[in-house]
Structure formats: structure tokens, C-alpha cells
Amino acid sequence: METGKSRKLTGVVVSDKMNKTVVVGVQRLKLDPKYRKQYKVNTRYKAHNPEDLYKTGDKVVIQESRPLSKEKRWVVVEKIK
């Protein structure tokens, strides 16, 4: 499902309760514009997991893709050890 330059993110599988879908939590650091302090921001993405290979707690790489459903726009590419 690779087309052109698509974004890749690394995160942890937070939930695997849906069919063929996992929720991946991606954590990043953001800088406060006024106080110049870094803080953590968590974002949750729904990603396509066709064979249900990935379970809660797995560290994975997700890649942007075409819309697969109402909220699913990412595909799990690989598991990181």
C-alpha cells in the first residue's frame, strides 16, 4: 500500500479489541512557545491490522495510507523488537 512519500510513525499498540484494527498510541515532545519547556503529547491512531498479528503492548511502525474507513488512515508496517 505504499504510494509516494507517506509518513511513518512509531508507537505502541494500546488496544486490539477491534477486528482487523489496532489503536496505536504515538508519543511526541512539544515545545511551549512562551516558557520554552518540552512536554509530552499522546496521539492515538487507528491502524489497519489485517491478519490480527499485533497485540497490546507491541511496539510498531505505522504508515499513512488512503482512507480505509471513517477513522482508519494508517497501516501497520512492522513490529519493532
Average pLDDT over residues 5-21: 96
User: Tell me: the pLDDT tens digits for 19-68?
Assistant: 999 999 999 999 999 999 999 999 999 999 999 999 999 999 999 999 99
Structural domains in the chain plus CATH codes: 8-80 (2.40.50.140)
81 band by pLDDT with thresholds 50, 70 and 90: confident
Are 12 and 44 in contact, with CB atoms under 8 Å apart? no
pLDDT at residue 60, rounded to an integer = 98
Question: Please, is 57 exposed, middle or buried when counting C-beta atoms within 10 Å of its C-beta (0-12, 13-18, 19+)?
Answer: exposed
